[in-house]
Each structure stands twice: as structure tokens, then as C-alpha cells.
Amino acid sequence: MELLGRGRLDDFCRGHADARSWISNWISEVEEAVWKRPSDVKEKYASASILSDNRVVFNVKGNRYRMLVQIAYNTGKVVVKKIGTHDDYDTWDL
């Protein structure tokens, strides 16, 4: 998959260094993945929440943080929309 929005992840890691390792591993896994449908994501990330419009919420670092992405399965693109704490997540308009 092609990952877009890495700058958001880099910015987040500057303020939340404890998430850096998890995010780095996630990036590697996403770039090697071939997701054709939401069930492919769930197979690898069972705790991920599948939303409408091909959006997925990942639990980051043992559910300490949340990350919202949108996946274009037909073109192989994953776009990082938002990443934040649970307090941040509670304010997101999903």
C-alpha cells in the first residue's frame, strides 16, 4: 500500500515519543500490505474499527492513542487523516 500523510505521523511522534516504535512498525506493515477489502485490514489488526466511507480507526500503542485513516482499496492508498489521544478522538467528527 502507498501511505499518504506521513507528516501527520511524524508531527505526532515529536510530541508522543512513546508511540514512535508502534507507528514505525505500522508504517512498515502498511507499506508491505495488499489490502483489497476491509476484512484484509481486520485480519492483521483485529481491534481496528471499520467505519463507513472506507475509513478505519486503529488503536495505537495498546489503545493509548487513536488513528483515523481512509483506504482506497482499488488504488492501494492509505491516507492518514487524524491521530491523537483519546481526548482528541472524542472530539473528532466521525
Stated as kind and residue range, the H or E segment containing 27 is helix 20-32
Mean pLDDT, all residues of the chain = 96
Res 62 pLDDT > 90: no
pTM over 0.85: yes
The residue-averaged pLDDT of 15-32 equals 96
Sign of torsion, CA 4 12 65 17? positive
Domain ranges of the chain: 2-91
Question: What is the pLDDT at residue 29?
Answer: 97
Q: What is the CATH number of domain 2-91?
A: 3.30.2310.20
> In the numeric block, which cell numbers belong to residue 43?
485480519
Residue 71 CB neighbours (<10 A) = 24
CA–CA gap between residue 52 and residue 17 (Å, rounded): 31
